[in-house]
Amino acid sequence: MIISYVESLIKGGEGATLDYPTLRSIQALVASLPASEHKTFREEFQQEYADVQLTAYLSTLTKTANLLNDVCNSSLHESMLILVRWSTNTLS
């Protein structure tokens, strides 16, 4: 039934009217099907997935390192100011 409906749409036959709810249902059905069960496809898919996960992990790690650097620099700057004020007061 689905195949004949899609074929009639492609051919542009007389009974071929666009029924958007039906088309959405067909799209959902196709999207739910596995792309391929072929071993090579699965291996490539898993490798791509691992690459994406690694990229996300490295991005998070970089952001965290930058945030830590900012905090350390801020704390160091404040500590230096306190030290300068203390040394100025004690030497005066």
Query: Per this entry, what is the length of the chain?
Result: 92
Give yes or no for a contact between 18 and 9, defined as CB atoms under 8 angstroms apart.
yes
- Kindly give, in sequence order, each residue whose CB lies less than 8 Å from that of residue 36, ignoring residues fewer than 6 positions away: 42
Is the CB of residue 64 less than 8 Å from the CB of residue 56? no
Give residue 81's identity as a one-letter amino acid code: L
How confident is the model over 24-66, as pLDDT tens digits?
A: 998 998 888 777 778 888 899 899 999 999 999 999 999 999 9
Task: Inform me whether the pLDDT recorded for 91 exceeds 70.
Answer: no
Model pTM score: 0.45
User: What gap in Å lies between CA 78 and CA 13, rounded to an integer?
Assistant: 78
Query: In this predicted structure, what is the pLDDT of residue 61?
Result: 94
